[in-house]
Amino acid sequence: MVKGKGVSKGIGIGHTKVLKNEEVKLTDFKVEDKENELSYFKKCLNNVIEDTREVLEKLSGTEADIMNAYLMILQDPTLTEETERLIQEDGYNAGYAAKVGFETVEEVFKNMDDEYMSARASDIEDMKNKVINKIINKAELDLSNLPEKTILVGKDLSTSDTAKLNLNSVAGIIIENGSENSHVSIMARTHEIPAIVGAKGALDSIANDMYIAINGGTGEIFLDPSQDEVAKLEKIQNELKDEKGSLAKFRNKKSITKDGYKTEVVANIGTPKDMDAVIENGAEGVGLFRSEFLYMDSDTMPTEEEQFEAYKEVLEKSEGKRVIVRTLDIGGDKDLKYLNLEKEDNPFLGYRAIRICLREPEIFKVQLRALYRASIYGKLAIMLPMISSVDELRAAKDIINEVKEELKAEKVKFDKNVKVGIMIEIPSAAIMADELAKECDFFSIGTNDLIQYTVAVERGNERISDLYTKFHPAVIRLIKMAIDGAHKSKIFCGMCGEAAADERFIPLLVGLGLDEFSMNPTKILNSRKMIRNLNHKECKKLVQEILRMSSASEIKARLEEYKDNL
């Protein structure tokens, strides 16, 4: 039996579609009309950019963030400098020049010491293949018309591949590479598709159109399963289906424990169109509205009016429930061509998020004006990302107050009671939580960044993904500091990272006193059910037990045991 790591719960039974990368053989020859060849290359590159934009329009959330990063890289002139030189100066044909030129950039990324940047080499390779396919008129892999109950098997799946999937036809995904935090895993969990990663040897063992079954929870893969095996798996599948159906009754329930401890379960969204899922799943509000889509879906800085319309739409649809909008969070893995941000050796520790807004207040002010103008259409709260010190928070509030004074002078209506909070995603902010809490209205813990900054592990790096863990005792202690610091000043503390929806972690967070759980809308009902099944006093005892532990593996095992015994 081939086996991997189960990263998205569920049973998949069907026939396989094996995705094998066929190497394109390109010959190097010289062309007479260099200018015409260069124009042809640029045309093909622009076609790929336009294709990527079309795909992007159908995405939201994390998938949109990743595809946006692709788009930014494709538009970066440094990506094509060598290709264009090989055509213009040496006279090589476009296909060969693109292969050599892109691989030159790919090699630079591979050799970088920074783990995040070296991992981007696979993105460059994906883009290289797409551009070359355009140049030689090779048809792209079409995953939009798969037969029903298809199980995809491949070495990896790029975001551009998964974005074109007809998800209703996909019964499961198996890939040889990947990790629990890779984009394929996140996409599978978001769309509730059974998925297995790290299935080494899968491409050698699994043929195209083979009848197989997978358990996305355990990582088991059954080749040509027997009737008994199928029956057992179908039983699990039906139990999961019944469990999902039973969640509907929690749609309009309060998120409150058995002994009366009140919390809120709210949604993370990336665009206004995500509000349909928020409403459908009975979210008690929006805990994180990522505003980056407005900036990354455009070739120019979005205007105040464009931003105002987007915020207004979400606030109106929220029907009076709180909507927390995170101010511009670019830099790191998100770049904007029109801002001309310099390349950095370590972008996650560089010029990003609130650091850009404080140093380029004209950008920040446009967003703040749009937010405050929209505030009269609902219950708005503003959240500042990447705050690392009291000084940064005060500087941001000074700009906010300037904007409010300008709007007053212009006689523009806005809600004067908009709450302003910060993300706790840098260890220094968690350590200084008691002081920061005196100067803002709420906290939201961003565990994705908090974990990687605490344990010095980039979360998408497959080679060291086992070290990236929310169960690390230092991470848990920082979370406790943030919650305690908030409560000391009588402000609420939420969490908007993936940990907020982890069944193993929820009892610990309830015991720590977390006030708000923000997550992908599809996770809301299950999380609310779990919270309603907990006893707050018992969870507090669990916290004391966990805080005495010094090993991440011990903590993980204990929390899994606690969940299983509920």
Round to whole Å and give the CA distance between 286 and 275: 9
C-alpha 241/C-alpha 536 separation (Å) is: 29
* SS3 annotation, 516-556: EEEECHHHHHHHHHHHHCCCHHHHHHHHHHHHCCCCHHHHH
CA distance 224 to 209: 11
DSSP string, 330-387: -BTTB--GGGTPPP-SSGGGSS-THHHHHHSHHHHHHHHHHHHHHGGGSEEEEEE-S-
Does 183 participate in catalysis according to the annotation?
yes
Q: What's the CA gap between 102 and 355, in Å, rounded?
A: 32
* Residue 381 · residue 442 · CB < 8 Å: yes
Catalytic choice (183, 357, 472, 493): 183
Could you confirm whether 536 is annotated as catalytic? no
Residue corresponding to tokens 């040496």: 90
- Long-range contacts of 408-412, Cβ-Cβ distance < 8 Å, separation of 24 or more: 412/372, 412/373
Strands 442-445 vs 195-197: parallel, antiparallel or unpaired? unpaired
Q: What is the DSSP string of 24-39?
A: PP----B-S-HHHHHH
Report the distance separating Cα 123 and Cα 65, nearest Å: 14
**Catalytic position from the list 44, 493, 496, 539:** 496
Which residues carry out catalysis?
A: 183, 496
